């Protein structure tokens, strides 16, 4: 994957040099698309374990040392190491669910990316859907993207279709 990203960036830079400054807007769009793909992979890695194995480890480990988190049960803002402690308490407590990520969007601001989407958690037995509005803020470091903020906003459950 790293090799692909390296080649992608070489292509983007060379493409900009060959096609001139008129490609600047396209280059920005390609950059956001590439970042969106990378951030969704991080998100799906966490959600696959969370919903598939009731294991919050990957999600908890995706946070920077200095970060913030909100969800409906946290009782307010969680900070820093308190996030992992809180999330790890869910180990084995989450029923097995399927999920769909809908309408993802990434906005880049230098080394900061804001990823927003709706996550539909689906009970495979009843078909009931629990939708969440999700906002994640990531910062790019020498080690890759790390989450510095997450907000999971619970919405009313939807009846099975």
Give me the mean pLDDT over the 63-88 stretch.
93
Domain-wise residue ranges, the chain? 2-154
Which pLDDT score, from 0 to 100, does residue 93 have? 92
pLDDT reported for residue 161: 59
Residue 153 C-beta-side C-alpha neighbours within 13 Å: 7
Classify domain 2-154 at the CATH topology level: Nuclear Transport Factor 2; Chain: A, (3.10.450)
Three-class secondary structure of residue 96 per DSSP: coil
Task: State residue 160's pLDDT score.
Answer: 61
Closest C-alpha to 65, from 39, 84, 42, 44: 84
> Rounded mean pLDDT of the chain?
84
The reported pTM is: 0.77
Contacts for 118-122: CB closer than 8 Å, 24+ residues apart: 119/47, 119/152, 121/51, 121/97, 122/97, 122/98
Write out pLDDT tens, residues 7-63. 444 343 334 433 443 444 444 555 899 999 999 999 999 999 999 999 999 999 999
């Amino acid at each position: 994957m790293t090799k692909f990203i390296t080649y992608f960036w070489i292509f983007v830079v060379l493409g900009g040099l060959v096609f001139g400054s008129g490609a600047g807007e396209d280059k920005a769009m390609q950059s956001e698309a590439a970042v969106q793909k990378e951030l969704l992979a991080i998100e799906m890695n966490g959600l696959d374990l969370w919903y598939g194995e009731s294991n919050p480890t990957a999600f908890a480990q995706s946070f920077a040392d200095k970060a913030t988190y909100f969800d409906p049960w946290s009782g307010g803002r969680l900070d820093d190491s308190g996030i992992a402690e809180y999330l790890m308490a869910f180990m084995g407590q989450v029923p097995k669910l399927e999920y769909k990520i809908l309408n993802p969007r990434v906005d880049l601001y230098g080394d900061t990316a804001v990823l927003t989407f709706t996550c539909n958690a689906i009970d495979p037995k009843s078909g009931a859907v629990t939708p969440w509005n999700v906002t994640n803020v990531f910062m790019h470091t020498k080690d890759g993207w790390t989450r510095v903020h997450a907000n999971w906003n619970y919405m009313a459950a939807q009846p099975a279709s």
